[in-house]
Amino acid sequence: MLFPALLILGVAAAEAATAWDGSRFAWYDSDARTDFKSALPIGNGRLGVAIFGTGVEKLVLNENSVWSGGWLDRANPKSKDAVPAIRKMLISGDMTSAGKSAMDNMAGNPTSPRAYNPLVNMAMDFGHGSGISSYTRWLDTFQGTAGVNYTYGGTNYNREYVASYPHGVLAVRLSAGQPGKLSVNFALSRSQWVLSQTASVNNGAGGHKVALSANSGQSSGAITFWSEARIVNSGGTATSDGKTISVSGANTIDVFFDAESSYRYPDASGAQAEVKRKLDAAVAAGYPAVRSAAIADFSSLMGRVKLDLGSSGNSGQQPVPARISNFKKNPDSDPQMMTLMFNFGRHLLASSSRDTGSLSLPANLQGIWNQDYSPAWQSKYTININLEMNYWPALVTNLADTHKPVFDLINVAIPRGQTMAKTMYGCDRGFVLHHNTDLWGDAAPVDKGTPYTVWPMGAAWLSADAMEHYRFTQNKTFLAQVAWPILRETAEFYHCHLFKWNNYWTAGPSLSPEHAFKVPQDMTQSGASEGIDISIEMDNQLLHQLFTNIGQACALLNLTVPICTTSITTYLPNLRPPAISPTTGRLQEWRSPSYTDTEPGHRHFSPLWGLYPGQQLAQSANLTAAAVALLDHRIASGSASTGWSRAWAVNLYARVAGRADDAWRHAQQLVATFLLGNLWNSDSGGTSPFQIDGNFGLVAGVAEMLVQSHETVEGEDGGVVVHLLPALPGKVKEGRVEGLLARGGFVVEELVWRAGKFVKARVKARSGGAVTK
Ligand SMILES: *[C@@H]1O[C@H](CO)[C@@H](O)[C@H](O)[C@H]1NC(C)=O
Ligand SMILES: *[C@@H]1O[C@H](CO)[C@@H](O)[C@H](O)[C@H]1NC(C)=O
Ligand SMILES: *[C@@H]1O[C@H](CO)[C@@H](O)[C@H](O)[C@H]1NC(C)=O
Ligand SMILES: *[C@@H]1O[C@H](CO)[C@@H](O)[C@H](O)[C@H]1NC(C)=O
């Protein structure tokens, strides 16, 4: 009853180790001890839980709107007057003075926006210390569920965890192999800023309650939340000390959990009413109904894509720690590990990013899972690669629904960015974002350093993703109501911000994220390390994409407003084209070939934006060759040094003809080098911080090897080329994939290959377009 996924496989406990589907389940024969990065992550797109599976069960709970405080006005009012002078210094080659002035006059105050914060922890104390045996815990990536079971004192104990999008709650069922054996104490806790903590027994309908309310500890604009668990026991009795609930002698115990914050319900009674509404409904429905609705919802998303890269035999049956250590030594022996990472990445996206109303929030640097009050990089939304990478798998792996929170956040950010455009740049139209934002749509520059702070291009990248959403879904309503306002407001800003330099429309002061250059001989101070410049290669690519997108959107929507015509006729043809260094043959990152890298192996592939995720560099053979030369040089010099950087390398190589084996090698190295105990990606391996972007970038990279659709048919307006198996690695001889999406509204319903060769495919046109061979 409790574990149908396993029962369907028909396994007995003793054989469990030989019956796991190694592409679907991540399983472990021990608990996570005190290691958050070994806990099992599930979520309903708004609430997240990391499950430790310890004797005294520890659950780290999160709600995606609980951050460190209210909106901060960080604009630097000195910026507007300083920008023209900084431009002049840059044009004349006074790079060091320009960088200094940019830091003094443009950096935000304070320099950081808000940080993502923990919600509460829940402890479930079973009184089971030493003496636990036959221990198993698992994550089911198809159902979005997790479980723990073991034997203690001759009795089998089971815990099952469900994150329900339909009911908006988390749910747990505890059970034991014999009646009356469950005695558990339930407590919520938080180390900071607790406002109230209560518990009460309720033997009628609705369940016993444990509740905790807290805020973000700021005197003004604090975010306050209300969290509550309802506990429903069958058999046994419950008591309370006013803060915790103790159930003893029960047969089963069900727990339902919700939390709501003042971000979505500014009025406390509104938030409390929402907690009560969701929990009353979940308790009334009962655990089996909540569970089956949650699984039906989750597996309908996951089931849209099925991937088979070959079987691992016994290697795929091992618990995760053994699989990771085996993969480091012999990656080819466990092809299902890559399939598991593909499924796990999609599991993480569907668990951390769902439409929960007009204030949905996207997956941040840690998705929704975080236990720290000062998480790495504030666990915010970093938009010079990381947030965008989170959504690289959203469209191609048929999870367009998970993309919606990004556009909700952009809508929150647009008014902030409009104010920032006026304050910092004197632009009365359009909106600007820099390299990070937070849940309030923070638009000011972040941190204080010349290679990263002053980058007025965040909205340009995000607007490109809005257009990609249209290309994959062909949803004209989305194009008109969501993408177009974003594209228009973004373009309006650049129509004001850009200036003419060498007859090209040019952005700046800006930078090439997050790379510094050495100032050339004919500039000052020669040899210094600087970041701030104008006419950055990546900026020009982003602007090229923006104005191209404006042209396409205007055509599709029959718009003839001035922003359409000026973007296409004035701006698009007068952007500086990509340049190839005459000395190295590599694509130039900055405006002159005399700049040199401070870090030839820099982790960002910013100048290669137009190779992936963009298309501009694929449009001519010489640019592609120069881009590949830069990519190879970066890699040879030590790039791909973070998990997300490695994931970007996978996608870049997948886009280059004849380099499929490099794409696969980097994918394998990501798995071998960067995974934490629970398969989360890390910044730089070992015990370095969790960063979810690499998990998502890897999924996109695998998809990119199998189906691509970024090229358009020459001479035919809007037609796309769907490439099947464009980058099939030599080592992936046999396989099959179902359900990947291509631009133009195509579903690759089936794609099969054998002995490294295409066998058959079935492609469906969702939007009525024609497919030609
Ligand atoms: C763990 O779960 C499996 C599948 O439901 C079951 O067969 C097994 O008996 C359980 N083991 C323990 C120790 O409870
Ligand atoms: C199309 O986009 C609109 C606006 O974002 C959205 O409400 C609608 O659900 C989308 N349609 C589909 C079929 O996803
Ligand atoms: C744009 O105009 C074309 C023909 O002029 C028409 O077929 C199409 O429906 C129009 N599209 C929109 C979105 O109005
Ligand atoms: C690439 O080749 C095209 C066509 O041969 C040429 O027009 C263009 O100038 C070249 N671009 C660069 C950056 O060398």
> pLDDT digits over 597-611, tens only?
999 999 999 999 999
Residue 86 has pLDDT above 70, yes or no: yes
| pLDDT (mean) for 70-90 | 97
Report the DSSP pairing between strands 224-234 and 252-261.
antiparallel
Confidence band of 220 (pLDDT split at 50, 70, 90)? confident
- Delineate the domains of the chain, giving CATH numbers in brackets: 27-67+115-308 (2.70.98.50)
Q: Which residue is closest in CA terms to ligand 1's atom 5?
A: 3
Higher pLDDT, 130 or 420: 420
The response to whether residue 579 sits with its C-beta less than 6 Å from ligand 4 reads yes
Query: pLDDT value at position 8?
Result: 34
Answer whether residue 7 shows pLDDT above 80.
no
| Per-residue pLDDT reduced to its tens digit, 232-264 | 999 999 999 999 999 999 999 999 999 999 999
Both tokens assigned to 405? 């929170």
Question: How high is the pLDDT of residue 50?
Answer: 99
Amino acid making up residue 585: G
3-state secondary structure of 63: strand
Q: Where are the alpha helices (DSSP H) in 24-114?
A: 79-92, 95-106
Lowest mean pLDDT among 720-724, 732-736, 769-773: 769-773
**Cβ atoms of residues 531 and 449 within 8 Å:** yes
Distance (Å) from CA 622 to ligand 4 centroid: 6
For the residues 367-380, what does the mean pLDDT come to? Answer: 98
Which of 687, 698, 615 is CA-nearest to residue 663? Answer: 698
Answer whether residue 219 shows pLDDT above 70: no
Q: Does the pLDDT value for residue 535 go beyond 80?
A: yes
Task: State residue 11's pLDDT score.
Answer: 36
Ligand 3 contact, 558 CB (< 6 A): yes
**What value does the mean pLDDT of the chain take?**
95
On whether the CB atoms of residues 574 and 505 are closer than 8 A, the answer is: yes
Judged by its nearest atom, the ligand closest to the C-alpha of residue 559 is: 3
Tell me, using a 6 A CB cutoff, whether residue 622 lines ligand 4: yes
- Contact assessment for residue 140 and residue 146, using Cβ atoms and an 8 Å cutoff: yes
613 vs 618: CA distance, rounded Å: 11
Residues 6+ positions from 97 with CB-CB distance below 8 Å: 89, 524
How many other C-beta atoms can be found within 10 angstroms of the C-beta atom of residue 73?
A: 13
pLDDT of residue 713: 77
What's the pLDDT at 129?
Answer: 84
End-to-end CA distance of the chain: 49
Average pLDDT over residues 549-578: 97
CA distances (Å), origin 184, targets 129, 159, 286: 13, 12, 20
Span 10-32, average pLDDT: 75
Give the pLDDT of residue 718. Answer: 63
Please tell me the number of the ligand nearest to residue 617's CA: 4
Neighbours of 677 (CB within 10 A): 17
- Residue 551: what pLDDT? 97
Kindly report the pTM of this predicted structure.
0.96
| Atom 14 in ligand 4: residue holding the nearest Cα | 580
Task: Evaluate if residue 15 carries a pLDDT over 60.
Answer: no
C-beta neighbour count of 584 within 10 angstroms: 14
Integer Cα distance of 384 and 134 in angstroms: 46
Give backbone dihedrals phi and psi of 202, rounded to 5 degrees, phi first.
Answer: -140, 100
- Report which ligand 1 atom has the smallest distance to the Cα of 12: 7
What SS3 state is found at 299? helix
pLDDT value at position 770? 67
Helix (H, G, I), strand (E, B) or coil at 725: coil
Quick check: CB of 481 below 6 Å from ligand 2?
A: yes
At residue 221, the pLDDT reads 85
Query: Is residue 772 within 6 Å of ligand 3 at its C-beta?
Result: no
**DSSP E strand boundaries for 438-503:** 499-501
Percent of the chain with pLDDT strictly greater than 70: 96
Encode pLDDT of 675-691 as tens digits: 999 999 999 999 999 99
Is 615 buried (19+), middle (13-18) or exposed (0-12) by CB count in 10 A?
A: middle
287-309 pLDDT, tens digit each: 999 999 999 999 999 999 999 99
Contact between 395 and 406 (Cβ < 8 Å) = no
∠37-43-49 over CA atoms, to 5°? 45
Q: What is the pLDDT of residue 442?
A: 98
Q: Which residues contact 338 (CB under 8 A, 6 or more apart)?
A: 309, 667, 668, 671, 702
> Which ligand sits nearest to residue 151's alpha carbon?
1
User: Does residue 158 surpass a pLDDT of 60?
Assistant: yes
